Amino acid sequence: MSFKNAFQPIINNPEKHDSVLYYDENVIIIKDMFPKSVRHLLVIPRHQQVTKKHPLDVFNAFYNDFTGEELYEMIEKYVEQAKDLIIDNLKEKLDMKDEIILQDFKTNFIKAGVHSIPSLDNFHIHVITQDFNSPRMKNKKHYNSFTTKFFVPFDQLNPLYNEKYYQLTNKDNESYDSQSDVSSSSSETEKPDFIRLIRSKPVLENLIKSTSFKCTSCNKTFGNSVIKLKDHLNEEFEKKFSTLGDTKLIKINDI
């Protein structure tokens, strides 16, 4: 089996893999095999019709078992569960008691989303802390794939804000057809503000290569120097995680 299908054996038999933190009939939640931050998880749907869909299209379709909206709402709950796994783990490792600090950390420092050009075939969602303080983070692609528009936040995948899904749901909608005599200006005002995502592979690949390293915490830039960036990220890591507890207790994907 090729590397691009590396998730398929885990999807098929999650009980046989140590990387799996949670699974049921709908998803598996695993530790990323090459984590780019101290906590880096993946939410991977198991449904056969969903798993090979492109991440920018997966919620803009109808399936035998659910609509795109229903799928999004279901997966959204698992994304939150993955964030909670991270928070619960940090709480245990650091013996934390302050729930307000933990909730703020969850809201502002754990991000979920997908890569516009995925490296693996099975659809998966990254749930990752924003420290990028990992020995696996080695080059521009590793960093910029999470810190530029190459990385699409999960909430931007909501099909209710995607024009393709809007057209799909209204294509054969009788109530929509019955209003066909309404003026175009009126119907336009009823449409939601659609989210426009970059889909061009050359544009996205150039974005990865041409964007200077930029700290996600303070916005300081480091040109093309990965060494300077990593030194700075280590400082930011100590600053951010020291508010939670002893940073020496936090090891890469020790969850």
| Catalytic sites, residue numbers | 124
Token pair 């307000």 is found at 100
Within its chain, how far is the Cα of 52 from the centroid?
A: 16
Within its chain, how far is the Cα of 13 from the centroid?
A: 23
Token pair 């299209």 is found at 57
Helix (H, G, I), strand (E, B) or coil at 101: helix
Residue 153: DSSP 8-state: E
Q: How far is it, in rounded angstroms, from Cα 21 to Cα 85?
A: 9
Q: How far is it, in rounded angstroms, from Cα 255 to Cα 250?
A: 9
| H/E stretch holding 55 | none
User: Do residues 101 and 53 lie in contact, with contact meaning Cβ atoms separated by under 8 Å?
Assistant: no
Pick from 58, 43, 82, 250: nearest CA to 158:
58
Q: How far is it, in rounded angstroms, from Cα 239 to Cα 64?
A: 48
Q: How far is it, in rounded angstroms, from Cα 183 to Cα 206?
A: 42
Q: How far is it, in rounded angstroms, from Cα 250 to Cα 92?
A: 11
